[in-house]
Structure 1
């Protein structure tokens, strides 16, 4: 029985491979003859709620990465369908996540400058994502899923805080309304850059702040937070953006608020566009970059997805077959290979959307299928209206995402584990935005395990559980 093989430790790569190609497995065990109508209704409702929530978030993530808004829509839909087909979790919702923003943004910015084309930069992203996908699939076949759980909790939480800081401070120019200042004043400088560059550039253009953009951005932020406090079932980001867009198109029509179409033009609804891999001119720097970005994509995909799967089982109070870590690696690999080839980018398990799906009643992977399809259908019909969304709204949504990533309870748990754990949290949280994702995390891991090896007393017994990178 497939269910039995999943509960037992699979010891050979052949057994794992057979399991990976068994698509209708124990993830669907809660769909039974006596309850199939109720179960499918619950999955459909959950998929609809998550789809409405995910559209504006996916657009915001894509634009923060230096990509087009429609690429976020297709990435989220495809990743969820592929992940739910080949992944190892019953409940997990896949899509764009905040952890990938600094990583992909740095690749797109660097290779747009090198190649002179954002399309070619995206083609290089396809290259490294495919390689990362192959690595993840090999890791799944090799049974390496269990090792992702060895990442210390303090570094996971520190990484989360660092990403949140980077997102909040590198995208606040959208709220300030100075996104296209460099172009409007005839400069060649691009105001979207790295963490320190972006802060410096924004401070130099404070005299161009549009107060109405600030109102729109902060209103989006606070309305989203308020609606979610009323009920998690409310598609708060979509409602907040709709209200702010209506205000900017009527009451604030002539206030100089920057819209999505001012930067990206028309938003097409032909989402499926084949984007082939493109290799820039060969050099030693290119090889280093390939290793760097592949390693980073594998790390984020593996750790975040497995931790999210584990948390999903807890949230759903799953009493039956738990998620399969190795199959999750396999599914993540296919997500990273297929999604970028069809105009998307790397995605992984998304905690906030997974939690929303579970609380909205999701029972089986069909909820993920409904989410992916409904997201495409909704986006297809509202595409003409997406281009009139103010950029300040996107800034407000990203600010909400960043604030949602920092959880005082998680920081307190790390603090309770000892001063060394807290120091590692602070170090990681600072290094991620000040250097880059991989430098911050890898240096933290090296320091952590070397220090534990040399000074075993630093490692105190702790009952805290690994946390998940929020999206």
Structure 2
């Protein structure tokens, strides 16, 4: 489907719905865009530029019909870290590189890989980001002054503690007015954005009665221009690209995760289906273009996307309209934004942090007290106290280790024998006893994947129960879904041990992947092409024909139904002749 396929069937009646939802989301996006920019350590207008450019491009070129793109809270600690360490100009370069990476991810169809990130890792770093955002707003909420921004959480908390003496009661009053509106408006009307009401109300009160005692956008950052900036290409060089590749990769991965999570939420609310690779390409183009206008990294915004859907959005036009609405307000009302107190924006971001904290899911996984709980806590703590890159890397590594351990723990090897009381004499573990076990034929049921996490357990289990000179062994592989090189190596060791004493190996019910792997390694030839059977019953019947019948004489184990005749000297010859009759193909055992 071409990029315009999402607009097929568009009717005039849908335009009204898109206009309404686009207008509402555009109004909501303005204070959020400025707040995210300020919290990220850049000028507020850069957040507005991002909302306009990225918002239009993501809706136009992305893979979701209802996605709203722009600056988000998730990017705050990443962007702030880049600005503090590398500077704003280099942030633009990192943003463009992230755009290129996202485009490549989409072109290479890597969108599905992002869905493989474990939920505890996602919740862990999301909750950690929420803590960083919330704590970062304590200073403007209290009106503290003279603080120096740092990359790490502890240093920033120390700054707040050191400057508590500069607390400003006017700022606190302003912040409380904004916070009250944020908490009350959803109960009054879901159609009127609480953030906008809180921003306007607290700004008006501060302007009329607080006599310039509260820091505003204008007093700290200067006036907001009423036009988009001219397109400017950052000063690129190979050295800068190398230097900024790591933060660019972090921005790209986080942007990809957030955008696809938002698209999944939109799918769940509308019953639609997004194209993950196309979404990554759209996000990449938006992040490639936005820095040319001075904008910061952008991604899909879950809350604004949900608001877009709830207000009746019918197509991607609503997202494009939201960007146009922000542009028009920038052109017409930018000078008024200079009067907005910084304390008015602090509660907005605190509420954003609270809503994105995944607190219920966090507590739920924590209460489970499993390996996932450990991954969650470690990812969360590393996000807060180190950085997102370290947190995700360690979280993914721990999750992978735990997954491998769980997968290995699910692998089992049971020695089994047929139960004559069951239909088709199915083989069962409980039938094997000291006084009921064939000395010549050992049957093992293997369940679970035979890979590097379980191969050693398989080998130990087989070796510890085999007789010193095993004559025959039957491996039931119907419940073994796959095998890797380590598993094949350990299986080869077992086979060589058995064959070195003149024994034989039979395999029944093997699945396609392990069978193909045995062919690649040549193990199937070592085992013998005629030693593979579709059913256990076929394999047992074949193996019984190759017993040393002299050892069967006077044997009291009675492991198989044929043993009664084979162990009796008077009836053995007749029993052996019956074994030579071809077995039935549908025998199960």
* TM-score after normalising by structure 1: 0.83
Aligned match of 1:217 in 154, 165, 175?
Answer: 175
Aligned equivalents of 1:414 and 1:305: distance in 2?
A: 24
Deviation at 1:30, TM superposition (A): 5.3
Name 2:157's counterpart in structure 1.
Answer: 199
Name 2:166's counterpart in structure 1.
Answer: 208
Aligned match of 2:271 in 297, 312, 317?
Answer: 317
What runs of 5+ residues in structure 1 fail to find an aligned partner? 3-21, 112-120, 183-189, 460-471
Aligned equivalents of 2:231 and 2:409: distance in 1?
A: 51
SS, match of residue 203 in structure 2: helix
User: Equivalent residues in 2 for 1:278-297 (5 A)?
Assistant: 278-279=235-236, 282=239, 287=242, 289-297=243-251
SS, match of residue 24 in structure 1: helix
Name 2:234's counterpart in structure 1.
Answer: 277
Residues 80, 368 of structure 1: 8 Å contact kept? yes
Deviation at 1:74, TM superposition (A): 1.0
Aligned equivalents of 1:344 and 1:263: distance in 2?
A: 19
Q: Could you tell which deviates more after superposition, 296-305 or 422-431?
A: 422-431
Aligned equivalents of 2:165 and 2:340: distance in 1?
A: 24
What runs of 5+ residues in structure 2 fail to find an aligned partner? 411-589
Name 1:302's counterpart in structure 2.
Answer: 256
Residues 120, 372 of structure 2: 8 Å contact kept? yes
Aligned match of 2:113 in 147, 168, 187?
Answer: 147
CA distance change for structure 1 residues 104 and 280 in 2, over 3 Å: closer, same or farther? farther
Aligned match of 2:77 in 102, 108, 115?
Answer: 102
Aligned equivalents of 1:28 and 1:65: distance in 2?
A: 35
CA distance change for structure 1 residues 457 and 379 in 2, over 3 Å: closer, same or farther? farther
Deviation at 1:193, TM superposition (A): 5.1
Aligned match of 2:341 in 368, 376, 390?
Answer: 390
Q: Name the one with the larger helix percent.
A: 1
Deviation at 1:38, TM superposition (A): 2.3
Deviation at 1:458, TM superposition (A): 8.5
Name 1:230's counterpart in structure 2.
Answer: 188
CA distance change for structure 1 residues 191 and 132 in 2, over 3 Å: closer, same or farther? closer
Greater relative contact order, per chain length (Cα 8 Å cut-off, separation 6+): 1
Aligned match of 1:50 in 10, 25, 29?
Answer: 25
Structure 1 residue 65 corresponds to structure 2 residue 40: yes
Structure 1 residue 133 corresponds to structure 2 residue 99: yes
Residues 90, 244 of structure 2: 8 Å contact kept? no
Residues 75, 96 of structure 1: 8 Å contact kept? yes
Structure 1 residue 245 corresponds to structure 2 residue 203: yes
CA distance change for structure 1 residues 249 and 451 in 2, over 3 Å: closer, same or farther? same
Deviation at 1:218, TM superposition (A): 2.7
Aligned equivalents of 2:408 and 2:16: distance in 1?
A: 53
SS, match of residue 344 in structure 1: coil
Structure 1 residue 367 corresponds to structure 2 residue 318: yes
CA distance change for structure 1 residues 281 and 89 in 2, over 3 Å: closer, same or farther? closer
Aligned equivalents of 1:28 and 1:129: distance in 2?
A: 29
Deviation at 1:228, TM superposition (A): 2.4
CA distance change for structure 1 residues 436 and 202 in 2, over 3 Å: closer, same or farther? same
Residues 137, 347 of structure 2: 8 Å contact kept? no
Aligned equivalents of 1:71 and 1:297: distance in 2?
A: 17
Structure 1 residue 263 corresponds to structure 2 residue 215: no
Deviation at 1:455, TM superposition (A): 4.0
SS, match of residue 127 in structure 1: helix
Aligned equivalents of 2:255 and 2:151: distance in 1?
A: 24
Name 1:171's counterpart in structure 2.
Answer: 137
Name 1:440's counterpart in structure 2.
Answer: 391
CA distance change for structure 1 residues 29 and 410 in 2, over 3 Å: closer, same or farther? farther
Residues 152, 385 of structure 2: 8 Å contact kept? no
**In angstroms, what is the RMSD of aligned CA positions?**
2.0
Residues 170, 192 of structure 1: 8 Å contact kept? no
SS, match of residue 17 in structure 2: helix
Aligned equivalents of 2:370 and 2:179: distance in 1?
A: 34
Q: Could you tell which deviates more after superposition, 423-432 or 345-354?
A: 423-432
CA deviation map 1:368-418 (0-9, x unaligned):
111000111112222111111111012121111111112343235535766
CA deviation map 1:286-328 (0-9, x unaligned):
83x423212101111111111111110111233xxx1101101
Deviation at 1:233, TM superposition (A): 2.1
Deviation at 1:343, TM superposition (A): 1.3
The count of aligned residue pairs is 410
CA distance change for structure 1 residues 458 and 343 in 2, over 3 Å: closer, same or farther? farther
Residues 71, 271 of structure 1: 8 Å contact kept? no
Name 2:7's counterpart in structure 1.
Answer: 28
Aligned equivalents of 2:113 and 2:142: distance in 1?
A: 43
Deviation at 1:232, TM superposition (A): 3.1
Residues 191, 202 of structure 1: 8 Å contact kept? no
CA distance change for structure 1 residues 214 and 280 in 2, over 3 Å: closer, same or farther? farther
Q: Name the one with the larger strand percent.
A: 2
CA deviation map 1:156-187 (0-9, x unaligned):
11111100000111221111111x425xxxxx
